[in-house]
Amino acid sequence: MNKKMRVGILGATGTVGQRFIQLLEDHPQFEVTALAASDRSQGKPYHAACAWRLPGEMPESVRSLPVNAPQPPLDCELVFSSLPSGVAREAEEAFARAGYAVISNSSAFRMDEDVPLLIPEVNHEHLALLETQRKTRNFDGGFIVTNPNCSTVMLAMALAPIHARFGVEQVIATTMQALSGAGYPGVASLDIADNVVPFIESEEEKMEAETLKILGRMSDSRVEGAGMQVSAQCHRVNVTDGHMAAVRVKLSRPAQVEDLSDALSSWRSLPQELRLHSAPSQPIIVRQEKDRPQPRLDRDAGRGMSVTVGRIRPDSVMDFRFVALSHNTIRGAAGAAVLNAELLIAKNIHAKTSAK
Ligand code: NAP
């Protein structure tokens, strides 16, 4: 059996960090060997630093691992980062500069021109940016790959097969986002009980900008953003996990509801061909029931890695409308990053630390 790659988790005690630990337990390619978090947690064993909030017990293998500062060196070859964006930039760059592969959830580098904003099903060819990144940043064997914001990922995935077949000109997306998207403890209970909050800091801007980068094409070693207009409005709702978006699209070529449904449900891509461990067999599941998708019923589809789309109908202002839903801490965060790392291994893209 091949030796597992040793990985570290930055922000290991948080909402996304705990998901990483859960998803990496018994992973066939990765073994968690290092953890890092804030100075509140540093120096403690993981079980003492982390209030475990996922169902089931904290995996035995990480209980006694010490929590370190998020700075190199750490005993690993690759770091998954779920640090707050304010600290991510310095920490992630330091790891990449020290020769580590950095697979980040945070927004710090997502929109940098030389950093892939990767969804393996959608834009695996954007990994070509790593060559530019190595040159422009003078990285000696390390690199940074990011995954999108938790709402962007489901929008970009739902748009990708529609854009490929019919061309998307305009998009209007209205989100209803789960509480776990705000980390722990997140939104105060008295602010969200019996309520909807129509503001999530920088979320609308992220959805609009990231979608264009993800759906853009490689041209002369850079990503040329997709030529569509995207408008997003984001809301926090009283749901624990699972972000939903009501989406309207204007297309460049004529289509029927059945055509959209077929484009979405038949869509397969490189992760499915390569049978990557975290890749769902069906990246987009189309539900025909009139009242689906729903967060409680659909967020765990494809072990949390499938996007569920329903209510595809003609729209009297744009061409079509539909509702998309995905698990925000799995496909929207930790699962997305793990899938990115699996793709890098499959493509034989390794950091310098792997050679040690
Ligand atoms: P969270 O629950 O608040 O966890 C934050 C983590 O970062 C904890 O491990 C915390 O450690 C650590 N941390 C905080 N301040 C730090 C500092 N100054 N230095 C080092 N470590 C520090 O947040 P989260 O929801 O997991 O989000 C983490 C990142 O992922 C953010 O960038 C967020 O935007 C992104 N993200 C989140 C989601 C989601 O659905 N939640 C989805 C996509 C992306 P301590 O426990 O020691 O304080």
DSSP reduced 3-state for 222? strand
| Contact criterion met (CB below 8 Å) for 308 and 298 | yes
DSSP reduced 3-state for 246? strand
Separation of alpha carbons 177 and 258, rounded Å: 28
Cis peptide before 73 (omega within 30 of 0): yes
pLDDT at position 356, please? 52
Which is it for strands 307-314 and 222-224: parallel, antiparallel or unpaired? Answer: unpaired
How far does residue 257's CA lie from ligand 1's centre (Å)?
40
CATH number at residue 140: 3.40.50.720
Q: Which two tokens stand for residue 287?
A: 């539900």
∠ CA 175-226-254, nearest 5°, is 80
How far does residue 229's CA lie from ligand 1's centre (Å)?
31
Mutate to test the pocket of ligand 1, among 9, 10, 15 (most ligand atoms within 8 A of CB): 15
Q: Is residue 124 part of a domain?
A: yes
Q: Is residue 274 part of a domain?
A: yes
155 lies in the same domain as 79: no
37 lies in the same domain as 144: yes
Separation of alpha carbons 333 and 344, rounded Å: 17
Range of the domain at 255: 150-327
% of the chain beyond a pLDDT of 70: 99
| Contact criterion met (CB below 8 Å) for 282 and 331 | no
Ligand 1 atom 24, closest CA: 183
- For residue 255, what pLDDT band results from cuts at 50, 70 and 90? very high
CATH number at residue 163: 3.30.360.10
158 lies in the same domain as 127: no
Q: Which two tokens stand for residue 300?
A: 């765990």
Counting from 1 in the atom list of ligand 1, the atom nearest the Cα of 85 is 32
Q: Which residues line ligand 1 (CB under 6 A)?
A: 11-17, 37-38, 40-41, 70, 82-85, 87, 105-107, 150, 180-181, 183-184, 328-329, 332-333
Of the residues 50, 150, 163, 327, only one is catalytic, namely: 150
Cα-flanking dihedrals φ and ψ of residue 251, to 5°?
Answer: -110, 160
Instruction: Give the mean pLDDT of 301-320.
Output: 98
Separation of alpha carbons 96 and 139, rounded Å: 7
Q: Is residue 158 part of a domain?
A: yes
Separation of alpha carbons 285 and 302, rounded Å: 9
How far does residue 15's CA lie from ligand 1's centre (Å)?
7
pLDDT at position 77, please? 96
Q: Is residue 356 part of a domain?
A: no
- For residue 31, what pLDDT band results from cuts at 50, 70 and 90? very high
User: pLDDT digit string (tens) for 201-211?
Assistant: 999 999 999 99
57 lies in the same domain as 12: yes
Ligand 1 atom 23, closest CA: 183
Q: Which two tokens stand for residue 53?
A: 């909030």
Separation of alpha carbons 260 and 161, rounded Å: 9
Q: Which two tokens stand for residue 296?
A: 């409680």
Q: Which of 78, 76, 104, 74 is nearest to 90 (CA)?
A: 104
Beta strands in 37-100 (DSSP E): 67-68, 78-81
How far does residue 185's CA lie from ligand 1's centre (Å)?
11
Ligand 1 atom 35, closest CA: 106
19 lies in the same domain as 164: no
Say how many domains are in the chain. 2
Mutate to test the pocket of ligand 1, among 10, 22, 82, 92 (most ligand atoms within 8 A of CB): 82
User: pLDDT digit string (tens) for 43-80?
Assistant: 999 999 999 999 999 999 999 999 999 999 999 999 99
pLDDT at position 2, please? 72
How far does residue 93's CA lie from ligand 1's centre (Å)?
17
Query: Catalytic site residue 234?
Result: no
User: pLDDT digit string (tens) for 117-153?
Assistant: 999 999 999 999 999 999 999 999 999 999 999 999 9
Query: Catalytic site residue 124?
Result: no
Q: Is residue 351 part of a domain?
A: no
177 lies in the same domain as 299: yes
338 lies in the same domain as 314: no
Ligand 1 atom 22, closest CA: 38
Ligand 1 atom 46, closest CA: 13
Q: What is the mean pLDDT of the chain?
A: 97
Q: Is residue 56 part of a domain?
A: yes
- For residue 1, what pLDDT band results from cuts at 50, 70 and 90? low
Q: Is residue 231 part of a domain?
A: yes
- For residue 243, what pLDDT band results from cuts at 50, 70 and 90? very high
| Contact criterion met (CB below 8 Å) for 133 and 139 | yes
60 lies in the same domain as 141: yes
Mutate to test the pocket of ligand 1, among 9, 10, 13, 16 (most ligand atoms within 8 A of CB): 16
Ligand 1 atom 31, closest CA: 84
What's the N-to-C CA distance of the chain in angstroms? 19
How far does residue 82's CA lie from ligand 1's centre (Å)?
5
Q: Which of 332, 330, 275, 342 is nearest to 23 (CA)?
A: 330
pLDDT at position 269, please? 98
User: pLDDT digit string (tens) for 209-232?
Assistant: 999 999 999 999 999 999 999 999
Counting from 1 in the atom list of ligand 1, the atom nearest the Cα of 184 is 2
292 lies in the same domain as 341: no
Q: Which of 332, 310, 344, 349 is nearest to 151 (CA)?
A: 332
| Contact criterion met (CB below 8 Å) for 78 and 87 | no
- For residue 353, what pLDDT band results from cuts at 50, 70 and 90? confident
pLDDT at position 122, please? 98
pLDDT at position 355, please? 55
Q: Which of 220, 243, 232, 238 is nearest to 323 (CA)?
A: 243
How far does residue 129's CA lie from ligand 1's centre (Å)?
26
Cα-flanking dihedrals φ and ψ of residue 58, to 5°?
Answer: -60, 130
176 lies in the same domain as 310: yes
Q: Is residue 121 part of a domain?
A: yes
130 lies in the same domain as 222: no
187 lies in the same domain as 312: yes
